[in-house]
Amino acid sequence: MVKGISDFLLMPMLCFFFGMLVFFLGVRKELDGGKAPWKWVGVLILGIGSYSVWESFALFVGLGDPTDVTGFRDLNGGKKNSLAIIVGFLFPILGMIGCVIANIVIGKRKRAEQQ
């Protein structure tokens, strides 16, 4: 089935936006002195966004049955769709990495302020 750009980008980008929002609202609450273990739900939302386009990404990069890969590339192999598949898969993953790095940096900063 031929898919458009929005099919590859809608779910991952919504998950990226809401996942980052949840995570950084949790970080803000922690910086204000509260506890926010729910901030990691934001990272889970990012994972869901990346997983939502995993099947298309796997076929795009050539993982799977060669017949399926060839058929997928023939139907969805345009430049715009190719870029949409890559962006839709990588943005949520980069968001998850960013959340982990931000948590480490903020944790170090909080510990340094306490000393």
Q: What is the pLDDT of residues 60-112, one digit of tens each?
A: 777 766 766 677 666 666 667 778 888 889 999 999 999 999 999 988 888 88
Question: Quick one: which H or E segment has residue 4?
Answer: none
Q: Using CA atoms, how far apart are residues 4 and 23, in angstroms rounded to an integer?
A: 30
Averaged pLDDT score across all residues of the chain: 83
Q: What is the pLDDT of residue 38?
A: 86
In three-state form (DSSP H/G/I as H, E/B as E, the rest C), the secondary structure along 45-95 is HHHHHHHCCHHHHHHHHCCCCHHHHHHHHHHHCCHHHHHHHHHHHHHHHHH
The tokens of 16 are what?
């990226």
> Which of helix, strand or coil describes residue 103?
helix
